[in-house]
Amino acid sequence: MATLKDAKIGQTVTVKKLTGEGAVKRRIMDMGITKGTDIYIRKVAPLGDPIEVTVRGYELSLRKADAEMVEV
């Protein structure tokens, strides 16, 4: 099972499943990240936190813990 955290810079991945619960899952979905969404990985900080992505034309930063809850 690969997660968004495992994706490489410059890669475009498609969301298969969100594994988070409650408020965390809602926050991820509020960013427009839902099943079937394409996510482009723009930049990853040296220690992997945060991960900067483009979703539906918006540039977002995700915490590493949140990225682990997005299966791709």
According to the model, what pLDDT value does residue 31 have?
92
Q: What is the pLDDT of residues 10-57, one digit of tens each?
A: 999 999 999 988 998 999 999 999 999 999 999 999 888 899 999 999
Domain extent listing, the chain = 4-71
Could you tell me the CATH superfamily of domain 4-71? Answer: Ferrous iron transport protein A (FeoA) (2.30.30.90)
According to the model, what pLDDT value does residue 20 have?
81
The CA-CA-CA angle for residues 27, 1, 16, to 5°, reads 50
Measured in whole angstroms, the distance separating CA 2 from the mean position of its chain's CA atoms is 11
* 69: Cβ contacts below 8 Å, ≥ 6 apart: 3, 18, 19, 20, 24, 25, 28
Comparing CA positions, the residue from 71, 65, 58 lying closest to residue 31 is 58
* pTM of the model as a whole: 0.89
* 23: Cβ contacts below 8 Å, ≥ 6 apart: none
